[in-house]
Amino acid sequence: MDMLLALSRGIDRINTLIGRTVMWLILLAVVISTVNAIVRKAFDVSSNMWLEMQWQLFGCVFMLAAAYTLLVNEHIRIDILNSRFPKAMRNWIELVGHTLFLMPFTILMLVDGWPFFVRSYLGNEQSFNAGGLPQWPAKFLVPLGFLLLFIQGISEIIKRIAVMRGRIPDPHERRDDAHETPLEHEHI
């Protein structure tokens, strides 16, 4: 179990680094959007490249930060119901949900997403818009994002089993303030 927990910590470090890094792409997308709007209004000049870069940056943030979102326990779940269950049942729901739903879905997306990217790359797929960007880098984000989500799912399963065995404290357990996540608590 110690080796698995070490693997989990390594996965968590990777996805934390990626998640915190790609957050900055939101700022870049806002700057590009702002400059593009000003240039378009002030000088009547525009390019599809800048518009497409905005949505590709958004796609990059969305796909590459998904694993980090799972890590910090900010993913979607029905908390109103989940919070009413005893802790042991919540642990089982997390374990079964990750094992039977998250992992097969990420595998399916990897299996389907890789050929989706490869066809685009080999064909050097370009935007249909004049002056647009190549499409294959955006399509690469699909298998890459689901690969990161898959390995984070492995980490979450390892941690959930360790919590259930009493080996580690629950990393998602609410502390002092009901509105703080464990990572927010650590930053204070």
The span from the CA of 66 to the CA of 39, in Å, is 33
Rounded to two decimals, what is the model's pTM?
A: 0.81
Structural domains of the chain, count? 1
Confidence (pLDDT) at 175: 53
Name which residue leads in pLDDT, 173 or 20: 20
Averaged over 23-37, what is the pLDDT? 92
pLDDT digits (tens, 9 = 90+) for 126-180: 888 887 888 999 999 999 999 999 999 999 999 999 988 988 888 877 654 444 4
Report DSSP state, residue 128: S
DSSP letters for 11-26: HHHHHHHHHHHHTHHH
Averaged over 107-117, what is the pLDDT? 96
The span from the CA of 32 to the CA of 81, in Å, is 41
Mean pLDDT for the chain overall: 87
Residue 27 has pLDDT above 60, yes or no: yes
Per-residue CA distances from 91 to 2, 88, 151 (Å)? 20, 5, 19
Sign of the Cα torsion 146, 148, 150, 153 reads negative
Least Cα distance to 98 among 142, 148, 63, 150 occurs for 150
Tell me which residue range forms the domain holding 79. 2-187
Residue 183 has pLDDT above 60, yes or no: no
Residue 188 has pLDDT above 60, yes or no: no
Averaged over 118-133, what is the pLDDT? 89
Per-residue CA distances from 142 to 21, 94, 101, 183 (Å)? 18, 24, 18, 27
